[in-house]
Amino acid sequence: MVDRPNKPSALVSTPGLPPQAQVTISHNNSRVSAVLPTGDSIEVLLHGATVISWKDSSGEERLWLSEASALDGSKAVRGGIPLVFPVFGTAPDHPAVGQLPQHGFARITRWEFLGKSTSEAASDSVKLDFGLSSENLDDKLRSQWNYKFGIIYSVTLERNSLSTSLVITNEGDEPFEFQTLMHTYLRVKDITSLQINNLENSPYVDKVDNLTSKTQDGPVTITSETDRVYTPAGGPKVPIVVADASGQAVYSVVRDTLDDVVIWNPHEAKANSIGDFAPKDGWRNMICVEAGAVKGWQRLEAGDAFEGAQVITPGPL
């Protein structure tokens, strides 16, 4: 093509189309970033397909990330949105996953970036797709969990929300069981002045109190180490709302198919005992609201698929 330095502007860009999201791959092909024309942005580490940053249009960071977290692929990320699969915690009494590391392998394995999709009609939205399959696992992990599977993880950034969704497919000839969870660390100004609503009258397992089964009475407040697995009484469509002292919503989390919600905050003593938790008083500025399917086991027959998703909508910090 002949170089035409004074070519008409119509040859430079197509008129009428709004500005589109900009997607870049950086850090030696280890991170994918997206920025909307509005200024909203996300950054995803291919190690674990972990969302490590979500900023609104004003540049306010919405996810909490430990200052001591490893971002070089050497271990799971402390903060952001790590993915749990195929086991929540450890399950030594469940032979199929008994040898796997805590929270499984999805968060410690490199995923593939499958590409982006945008809509010409909606310039304030971008979807990034990531993939993980049996072929991505190393020999040790494959020997510990020898099932054929495929996962498509989609991260969708919109002007006023962040959506994450999983499609897990059994690509083998035999069924398998699994648990999964989106371990979301939300950034807050002061956890001691917040409460979590819409878990009232919900049954939960208190992991800090010897796995005792309890029922939530009133809003959830954080006054000590908190690690609870709720099955919200209102079901997945009722939002879990993190609210400030005035009742203003700071975050709203709506789930699809994911019936359980883990609420976690280490508080002072536990935070001090976690090596990669920094700063040590960072527990004041985070709350984990984790959408998942972790009570019991999901069973996938050969060829079947499981879908789960969450949508996080922020309010003023």
312 strand-pairing partners: 162, 253
Which of 300, 65, 40, 73 shows the shortest CA–CA distance to 172? 300
Rounded to the nearest 5 degrees, what angle is found at the Cα of 122, between the Cα atoms of 119 and 124?
110
183 classed as catalytic: yes
Which of 257, 141, 163, 238 shows the shortest CA–CA distance to 196? 238
Catalytic residue among 47, 103, 183, 267: 183
Catalytic residue among 174, 290, 301, 307: 290
Q: What is the DSSP string of 199-238?
A: -TT-EEEETTTTTEEEE--SSB--SS-EEEEE--TT-TTS
H helical segments located in the chain: 139-144, 267-273
H helical segments located in 168-260: none
> How many C-beta neighbours within 10 Å does residue 114 have?
13
What token pair was written down for 272?
Answer: 């001090």
107 marked as binding residue:
yes
Buried b (16+ CB within 10 A) or exposed e, 136-157: bbeeebeebbebbbbbbbbbbb
126 and 21 Cβ atoms separated by less than 8 Å? yes
Residue 49 DSSP SS3? coil
> How many C-beta neighbours within 10 Å does residue 54 have?
25
102 marked as binding residue:
yes
20 marked as binding residue:
no
307 classed as catalytic: no
Which of 312, 310, 292, 283 shows the shortest CA–CA distance to 64? 283
Give dist(CA 177, CA 191) in Å, integer.
36
Give dist(CA 237, CA 258) in Å, integer.
10
Distance of alpha carbon 316 from its chain centroid, rounded?
21
What token pair was written down for 104?
Answer: 């499984």
Q: Which residues are annotated as a binding site for substrate?
A: 78, 102, 107
Residues annotated catalytic, as ranges:
183, 290
